[in-house]
Amino acid sequence: MTEGTQSRFVAFVLIRLTALILAVLVLGHFAVTHLLTDVAETNSNFVARRWSEALWLAWDAVMLVFALVHVGSGMWLMIDERVPSRGSRRRLYAATTAGIGALGSVGIAAIAVAAIRT
């Protein structure tokens, strides 16, 4: 396999592996926060109660990381497919990696701070 095909294969596999887990985690998250509980009730008390349990902390942390890996691989494939110039592709990869990394750090920081505080 050439370098390009190998990367495409890795992205392809990552998208599908994370998709299977996300289908359960994201729909479950939406059901808990919008159907089983009315959205107006999901205030800071609700978050504090949920994040006092290891299950929900792990749920949200895994969901966050998998969602960002899913988005990152998807973006990588879109750039690979639609941007012909090598230089622009590189700059776009760097920008998306930085953006997704920043979002992941902010999200993990939020979960970690909340976990330590409770």
Contact residues for other proteins, defined by CB under 8 A: 16, 19-20, 23, 26-27, 30, 34-35, 38-40, 42-44, 47-48, 64, 67, 71, 74, 78, 82, 103, 106-107, 109-110, 113-114
Asked if 63 contacts 20 with a C-beta cutoff of 8 angstroms, the reply is: no
Smallest distance, Å, CB 27 to other proteins?
7
Query: Smaller CB distance to other proteins: residue 23 or 94?
Result: 23
In angstroms, what is the minimal distance from the CB of 10 to other proteins?
A: 15
| Sign of the four-CA dihedral 71, 72, 76, 82 | positive
Cα(first)–Cα(last) distance of the chain, in Å? 50
Instruction: Please identify, using beta-carbon distances, which residue of 82 and 86 lies nearer to other proteins.
Output: 82
Q: What is the DSSP letter of 118?
A: -
List the structure tokens of 23: 């289908």
Task: Tell me whether residue 6 or residue 12 sits nearer to other proteins (CB atom).
Answer: 12
Per-position DSSP letters for 18-64, written without gaps between them: HHHHHHHHHHHHHIIIIIIS-GGG-SHHHHHHHTTSHHHHHHHHHHH
Cβ distance to other proteins smaller for residue 64 or 92: 64
Minimum distance from CB of 114 to other proteins (Å)?
Answer: 6
